[in-house]
Amino acid sequence: DRGPYFQSQRKENYTRRVEALLSRGLAYEKDGAVRFRMTREPVLIRDLVVGDVTRALTDREEADPDFVIMRSDGSPVFHFVNVVDDLEMGITHVIRGEDHLSNTSKHVALFQAFGVEPPKYAHIPLILNADGSKMSKRDDGAALTYYTENGYAPEAVLNYLCLLGWSPKDGREVIPVKELIANFDLPQILRHNARFDHEKLKWMNGEYLRAMAPDRFYELSVHTLARAGVDTNQFPTAYVKAALDTCMGKLRILTELPGYGGFYFTDKLELDADAKAALTPEARERLQKLRDAYAGLAEFTASNLEATLKETAKTLGVKNGVLVHPARIACTGKPSGPSLYHLLEVLGKDRVLARMSAAMAS
């Protein structure tokens, strides 16, 4: 326990540390603020990524190298807070963007003033947008919550982020988390800035979704559907799992799921203009024949449904696809989606017959 963890609750800690520096002559008061006596000698920064860096004072700093650590209103400054928090919380590694390297000499000097070894520093390359501009907190994708809210599996995002500026020796891209942890090595991080490729992340996310254990896919899918306003709690768990099983391996991101498999979870299937146009009078007549054949099935299984459709097509003298297309539209409202015979089995006989009747009447 190294709390409190909010800076607003740590004022006593900062005040105590300032007083310690003042008592040893390592800081002084000026214009109501407290300033740290910065060393005039070059500061050696040992960095796991950049290597050893010696930071000397700039011409501008030489005139007045000291810097404020506590303002006149009693509030501590970032550089001071940063060091005190790391010191008191036992931080062993500081991993941050390379743009903070220029501040690190101040931090090292403060650690030395407190008589402790600085933590190990690792200043990593910046993440850029696809166009090469610096990614800011206002950009889409700068916050991790963006990905969980937009259909990405956390494990895929972690995998992709690890590969920004680093790669395993064997060149693989999809790597299990345990392996990432075992093989990740800060000194192997490349020095150049990495561009964030959203399309590459989508591809990787699709790979993860395809290889995902059914229970994990179910867990993520239910949350995604709930965010889209689909309440799967209205349906038996076995039905929901069977429906989602037909969607596995078909998605790149989970936000595609409501559009791909949302038809399972509504009793009011809406047919758009294109879907209705596909159900020509001739198509409706054929669909009626297929419905009649399906109504007579004792076992509503995928294999029986496929065999029955093929037999009906043969009787009508048409190709199988002539029946597949209107059957799919009638039962899903979409021209494409999961395997027809498996989705029909999951929907069940009552839903399938009802949807076919509704489509023919629309």
Task: Evaluate if residue 1 carries a pLDDT over 80.
Answer: no
- Tell whether omega for the bond before 281 is within 30 degrees of 0, i.e. cis: no
Mean pLDDT along residues 3-12: 91
**For residue 20, what pLDDT is reported?**
98
Residue 133 lies in a domain: no
Task: Evaluate if residue 192 carries a pLDDT over 80.
Answer: yes
Same domain, 244 and 277: no
Residue type, 240: V
Token duo for residue 347: 């929907």
Same domain, 196 and 221: no
pLDDT in tens, 36-56: 999 999 999 999 999 999 999
Model pTM above 0.75: yes
**For residue 165, what pLDDT is reported?**
85
CATH number for the domain harbouring residue 195: 1.10.1160.10
Task: Evaluate if residue 271 carries a pLDDT over 90.
Answer: no
**For residue 154, what pLDDT is reported?**
96
Residue 129 lies in a domain: no
**For residue 152, what pLDDT is reported?**
97
Percent of the chain exceeding pLDDT 90 equals 79
Residue 136 lies in a domain: no
Q: How many CB atoms lie within 10 A of CB 246?
A: 20
Task: Evaluate if residue 170 carries a pLDDT over 90.
Answer: no
Dist. CA 51–CA 327, nearest whole Å: 65
Residue 357 lies in a domain: yes
Same domain, 48 and 151: no
Mean pLDDT along residues 7-21: 96
Contact 300, 345 (CB under 8 A): yes
Q: Which pLDDT band, with edges at 50, 70 and 90, does 346 fall under?
A: very high
pLDDT in tens, 216-264: 999 999 999 999 999 999 999 999 999 999 999 999 999 999 999 999 9
Same domain, 253 and 284: no
Same domain, 40 and 118: yes
Residue 137 appears among annotated catalytic residues: yes
Same domain, 107 and 119: yes
Same domain, 119 and 167: no
Round to the nearest angstrom and report the end-to-end CA distance of the chain.
Answer: 66
**For residue 318, what pLDDT is reported?**
97
CATH number for the domain harbouring residue 351: 1.10.10.350
In total, how many domains does the chain have? 4
Domain boundary among 208, 236, 253: 208
Contact 55, 42 (CB under 8 A): yes
**For residue 191, what pLDDT is reported?**
86
Same domain, 277 and 252: no
Residue 158 lies in a domain: yes
Dist. CA 258–CA 251, nearest whole Å: 11
pLDDT in tens, 315-329: 999 999 999 999 999
Q: Which pLDDT band, with edges at 50, 70 and 90, does 166 fall under?
A: confident
**For residue 342, what pLDDT is reported?**
98
**For residue 49, what pLDDT is reported?**
94
Residue 200 lies in a domain: yes
Mean pLDDT along residues 211-220: 97
Averaged pLDDT of the chain: 94
Q: Which pLDDT band, with edges at 50, 70 and 90, does 202 fall under?
A: very high
Same domain, 96 and 25: yes
Same domain, 44 and 91: yes
Q: Which of 81-85, 110-114, 130-134, 293-297 has the lowest mean pLDDT?
A: 130-134
The string of DSSP letters for 268-313 reads SPPP-HHHHHHS-HHHHHHHHHHHHHHHT-SS--HHHHHHHHHHHH
Range of the domain at 33: 7-124
Dist. CA 163–CA 204, nearest whole Å: 11
Mean pLDDT along residues 138-160: 91
Which is catalytic among the residues 137, 169, 178, 268?
Answer: 137
Question: Which residues, 6+ apart, have CB-to-CB distance to 79 below 8 Å?
Answer: 67, 69, 103, 106, 107, 110
Residue 41 lies in a domain: yes
Residue 1 lies in a domain: no
The residue among 45, 21, 26, 65 whose CA lies nearest residue 105 is 45
pLDDT in tens, 103-127: 999 999 999 999 999 999 999 999 8
Same domain, 112 and 197: no
Task: Evaluate if residue 167 carries a pLDDT over 90.
Answer: no
Same domain, 88 and 190: no
Q: Which pLDDT band, with edges at 50, 70 and 90, does 158 fall under?
A: very high
**For residue 56, what pLDDT is reported?**
94
Task: Name which residue leads in pLDDT, 314 or 166.
Answer: 314
CATH number for the domain harbouring residue 96: 3.40.50.620
